[in-house]
Amino acid sequence: MCSEGEFVSITALMSALQSEVSQGPLGDTSVTWILNVLFYVIFVVFMFYGQRIQTYVMIREVEGSLYKLKYIKEEGRKIAIETIKEIGKPQTEPSTRVDRFLEYFTISPQTLDPAGVVWKLEHILDVRDTRFKDEVKLMAPAADETQANNLENTLEAAMALNFIYKVIRHYYLLGKKTLSLYIIMQIQMILPLIMKEAEAYASALKAFAYGQPIGDGAGALVAAKLMHGYETRKIAKDCVVATAPFEGRSAFVIKAEGPGGNVGKPGDAVKAVIEENEGKIAMVVMIDAALKLEGEILGEVAEGVGAAIGGPGVDQYKIEDELLKYHIPINAVIVKEDIGDAVSPMRKEVFDSVDNVIERIKQVVLERTKEGDKVIICGVGNSIGIGQ
Amino acid sequence: MTETKASAPTTRISSFVLMVVFVVLALSFAALIFGVNILEQNSEASWILMLLGFFGVTLSTYVLFQTRRRLSKLKIVIPPVTTTIECKKCGFKNVREFQRGDYIFKEGENCQKCNEKMLITAIYREVKDKDKERLKPF
């Protein structure tokens, strides 16, 4: 509602406009006529071309993000090449090899007949891993094992950025070519999430290049704290185990071998420890970083049951299969963080949560096992920047 | 998390946005001129028009200035990562910037107090969450 004063002001303004208009060359009625026609033209234009205008606006929005993604992708490539030159001391210029590496792809196995698909997938992933390691060795001959693992992770982050850029570019160009609202809308709607992920990978690039611990390593850090000071031995590919006393029980603590960046094969490691002990394991506790929902606190610790492990599912399958064979209970403790925190240098909140996780494990073990029992504590995650 | 400040030579401002800004700017100038013209006939309406014109010019200039600023730089900013080194014997603690080659549980330099080997016990980054206060009620 407007007051009397405001009404007077508006009336005065309108009459001033009217008097000015009537003084114009076209006169009062002509202007009203023009305004009416203009209104109808706009109405008709929006009625027929509203969707097209909306499409153009969305294309512009995607275009802006695409420029940003292009910059991040190019930065990623640059960081990878610089790190290879600095650490690997290659004889030739690594750019061509890096560009080729960024275009690598992996074809997942056929699932028409799902029987045995896990083993097929495992084989493909093993081949991929060996291929990546060989490529890194060729690119950076002077890098030691830890540096080579970190370089491999750096290249994988650059590869992820390259892929994100190409997919967004695909939808952008397709949308521009077809001017289909529905094609461009698909990508525009999820764009904020994609940008968040891309920025997380950009951050991960530097962390991997410098060998800094990342948020995903929360599980590996818990295991490292529990096994520190005890003798470790290799149990599976890129995995170590230490036997440590834990609240009157005997704990087999497993983690990926650090400080190089790798996640190892926790599935094989858990299986090997269970087989070594002929299934006489009272409980398995798995610790991993898990994606938090918006509103949840970073570094919050939660407890549950099941195999807490991400990735393509091969390790989870192996662990579940082995546990079923001997009817061993499995508990999980997770540290909550978002995708950005998981792949970028470890945040203080995540680091501080490690002591809470250890307290939770103690509680679970004390409540659910007897003194003298054997338990497996498996810290899952990338061990970059985390020794043992 | 990484902050990516938009945008560099690789970035361009949407021409649609620019068009809208320039239309607003032109209308605001027109309102200003119109306001000045009718000042003697109707001072109240004139002041309102001039106020509107001034507001429009300020707003569109600000938007143009902002887009110009967005064009200036784009770089990936990584918050500093700190390394904590501890002496297990005397408890002496040293916090410094992360150096390449540092990792948790790596034996570092000798202790300044007791000359024992020190151990890297923590590597992390601290981030001030800007959204925390804004989203606090939930």
Number of folded domains in chain A? 2
Query: Mean pLDDT, to the nearest integer, of A197-206?
Result: 86
Residue A12 lies inside a defined structural domain of this protein: no
Q: How far, in Å, CA of B101 to CA of B24, rounded?
A: 56
**Quick one: A309 and A355 in the same domain?**
yes
**Quick one: A192 and A219 in the same domain?**
no
- Unique residue bearing structure tokens 């030739």: A92
CATH number of B81-126: 3.30.1330.30
pLDDT of residue A358: 95
pLDDT of residue A172: 93
Q: What is the ipTM of this complex?
A: 0.82
**Quick one: A92 and A226 in the same domain?**
no
Q: How far, in Å, CA of A26 to CA of A33, rounded?
A: 10
Cite the DSSP H helix spans in A103-180: 117-139, 145-178
Confidence of residue B38 (pLDDT cuts 50, 70, 90): confident
Closest A-chain CA to B137: A295
**Quick one: A180 and A139 in the same domain?**
yes
pLDDT tens-digit profile of A213-224?
A: 999 999 999 999
Please tell me the distance in Å from A108's CA to the nearest CA on chain B: 31
Question: In B, which residues are within 8 Å of A61 by CB distance?
Answer: 14
Nearest to B104 among A17, A213, A340 (CB): A213
What tokens does B110 get? 């000798």
CB–CB of B16 and A64 under 8 A?
no
Listed residue (A355, A225, A358, A349) closest to A299, CA to CA = A349
Confidence of residue B10 (pLDDT cuts 50, 70, 90): very low
Closest B-chain CA to A297: B132
pLDDT tens-digit profile of A317-352?
A: 999 999 999 999 999 999 999 988 898 899 999 999
- Domain containing residue A370: 215-379
Confidence of residue A7 (pLDDT cuts 50, 70, 90): low
pLDDT of residue B5: 47
Which residue in B18, B37, B46, B81 has the most chain A C-beta atoms within 10 A of its own C-beta, making it the best mutation to test that interface? B81
- Unique residue bearing structure tokens 């060996």: A130
Question: In A, which residues are within 8 Å of B105 by CB distance?
Answer: 224, 228, 386-388
Confidence of residue B31 (pLDDT cuts 50, 70, 90): confident
Tell me: pLDDT of B126 over 90. Answer: no
Residue A367 contacts residue A375 (beta carbons within 8 Å): no
Q: What long-range pairs does B70-73 form, CB within 8 A, spacing at least 24?
A: B70/B6, B70/B7, B70/B11, B70/B13, B71/B7, B71/B8, B71/B11, B71/B13, B73/B5, B73/B8
Query: Mean pLDDT, to the nearest integer, of A355-382?
Result: 94
pLDDT tens-digit profile of A160-177?
A: 999 999 999 999 999 999
Confidence of residue A14 (pLDDT cuts 50, 70, 90): low
Tell me: pLDDT of B68 over 70. Answer: no
pTM of the model: 0.79
What tokens does A160 get? 């992820």
pLDDT tens-digit profile of A263-319?
A: 999 999 999 999 999 999 999 999 999 999 988 999 999 999 999 998 899 999 999
Tell me: pLDDT of A23 over 50. Answer: yes
Tell me: pLDDT of B12 over 80. Answer: no
- DSSP helix/strand/coil, A109: coil
Q: What is the mean pLDDT of chain A?
A: 89
Helix (H) or strand (E) holding A284: strand A283-291
Q: Which of A208, A242, A267 is the last residue of a domain?
A: A208
Query: Mean pLDDT, to the nearest integer, of A225-234?
Result: 93
Nearest to A388 among B11, B38, B105 (CB): B105
CB–CB of B42 and A15 under 8 A?
yes
Residue type, A173: L
What tokens does A100 get? 């080729």
Closest A-chain CA to B5: A68
Q: Which of A160, A187, A208 is the last residue of a domain?
A: A208
Confidence of residue A132 (pLDDT cuts 50, 70, 90): very high
CB–CB of A348 and B126 under 8 A?
yes
Please tell me the distance in Å from A351's CA to the nearest CA on chain B: 7
Confidence of residue B28 (pLDDT cuts 50, 70, 90): confident
Tell me: pLDDT of A1 over 50. Answer: no
Residue A7 lies inside a defined structural domain of this protein: no
Strand locations in chain B (E): 3-4, 76-77, 81-86, 93-97, 107-110, 117-125
**Quick one: A294 and A371 in the same domain?**
yes
pLDDT tens-digit profile of B83-113?
A: 999 988 888 888 999 998 899 999 878 888 8
Tell me: pLDDT of A24 over 90. Answer: no
CB–CB of B124 and A213 under 8 A?
yes
Helix A27-83 × helix A145-178 angle, to 10° = 160
Residue A5 lies inside a defined structural domain of this protein: no
Tell me: pLDDT of B8 over 50. Answer: no
Does B132 contact chain A (CB < 8 Å)?
Answer: no
Burial A87-123 (b: 16+ CB within 10 A, else e): bbebeeebeebbeebbeeeeeeeeeeeeeebbeebbe
Listed residue (A320, A295, A358, A311) closest to A216, CA to CA = A311
Show me where the domains of chain B are located: 3-76, 81-126
Which residue in B124, B127, B128, B129 has the most chain A C-beta atoms within 10 A of its own C-beta, making it the best mutation to test that interface? B124
Tell me: pLDDT of B2 over 50. Answer: no
Question: In A, which residues are within 8 Å of B42 by CB distance?
Answer: 12, 15-16
Q: How far, in Å, CA of A24 to CA of A45, rounded?
A: 28
Question: In B, which residues are within 8 Å of A385 by CB distance?
Answer: 102-104, 123
Does B54 contact chain A (CB < 8 Å)?
Answer: no
**Quick one: A84 and A183 in the same domain?**
yes
CB–CB of B103 and A211 under 8 A?
yes
Nearest to B81 among A60, A212, A350 (CB): A212
**Quick one: A173 and A158 in the same domain?**
yes
Please tell me the distance in Å from A260's CA to the nearest CA on chain B: 9
Residue A386 lies inside a defined structural domain of this protein: no
Nearest to A70 among B2, B10, B44 (CB): B10
Which residue in B121, B123, B132 has the most chain A C-beta atoms within 10 A of its own C-beta, making it the best mutation to test that interface? B123
Nearest to B8 among A71, A295, A351 (CB): A71
**Quick one: A87 and A191 in the same domain?**
yes
pLDDT of residue B70: 57
Q: A191 vs A63, A182, A236, A340, B66, CA distance in Å?
A: 11, 14, 40, 15, 23
Confidence of residue A134 (pLDDT cuts 50, 70, 90): very high
- DSSP helix/strand/coil, A76: helix
pLDDT tens-digit profile of A40-92?
A: 888 998 898 888 888 888 998 898 889 889 999 998 899 999 999 988 888 88
Q: Which of A176, A208, A240 is the last residue of a domain?
A: A208
